[in-house]
Amino acid sequence: MSDISIRALPFDVDAKRINATIGAIAFLLPVALYLLALASDTTCFMFSISHYYYTRIGGDILVGALSVVGAVMVLFYVYKGNDAPEFVAHNRTNALLAKAAGLFALGVAFFPTGGVGCDYPNSGELDVSRFFLLDTQVTDGVVSGAVSYDFWMSFGYWATPEDVPFLLYNAHYISAAAMFGILAYFSLRVFTAVQTPAATTTLTMSGAKSGRKRLRNKVYIAMGCLMLLGMAGLAGKMAMATWSADPVGFITAWNARHMTFWCEALALMAFGVSWMVKGRIFGLLED
């Protein structure tokens, strides 16, 4: 296809809209899951966003949203082979990091966290959660097996969770930490760089930042710091669960307040705001 025929196509792929869409999905994901728990008698307010994997509808929302974000980031950000100074934020490293963040988002979606994520104290006989069945058998149309909320155990290769290789057993947590780490880097270092002449007062790449660019940068920096704060909260939880004098009591109190959910929601919504501003949603903060 010639350049002329490409330019004549009656539609366009708008990078800003793609960035804004990624941001909107990330921002709305925890909101949708929280509202689902409020609206449904059969969906518990889970201890973490990741635990919604095991719920009806919530699992579809979680995996679907992260799959869209991951697939777009993997497929859309393509390096064109130009590391010129005026494209300091659009280099090979950042293009690869964007793809890596997308892959890690897919890892979060398809390598579920462990545990049921809710006590379901008033569920009675109601089936309110999905789970894996180990040693599945079907007898006269009745399915039976041992209930498990451990993804890797469902493959049947390991006798106990402790037998699962470290990288596999922790694939969900490694993916989440890497994804948020890369996204925080984009918000703090990539998005804050001058990327177009319109972002400067002199309309040159080396000019002073315009007022709207400085305002955007304040948002990017704030959102990057909030992502790091959410990650720090989860790291603190892991440290306390490991070294606290009463780890069981600490985890019980932590889960009762749904602190993992709120830390993840903080990081996801900060990611969403950062990318929506990058995408100039509704023309917001456009130069």
> What does DSSP say about strands 132-139 and 142-148: parallel, antiparallel, or unpaired?
antiparallel
Residue 262 class from Cβ within 10 Å (0-12 exposed, 13-18 middle, 19+ buried)?
middle
Whole-number pLDDT of residue 280:
86
Whole-number pLDDT of residue 9:
67
Whole-number pLDDT of residue 253:
92
Whole-number pLDDT of residue 198:
76
Cβ neighbors of 174 (< 8 A, separation 6 or more) are 107, 167
Q: Are 78 and 95 in contact (CB under 8 A)?
A: yes
For residues 287 and 215, give the distance between their C-alpha atoms in angstroms, rounded to a whole number: 11
Whole-number pLDDT of residue 206:
73
Q: Are 42 and 57 in contact (CB under 8 A)?
A: no
Q: What pLDDT digit, counting tens, does each position of 59-103 carry?
A: 999 999 999 999 999 998 777 766 655 566 678 888 899 999 999
Boundaries of every domain in the chain? 13-118+168-283
Low-confidence ranges of the chain (pLDDT < 70): 1-9, 81-89, 121-128
Q: What is the pTM of this model?
A: 0.88
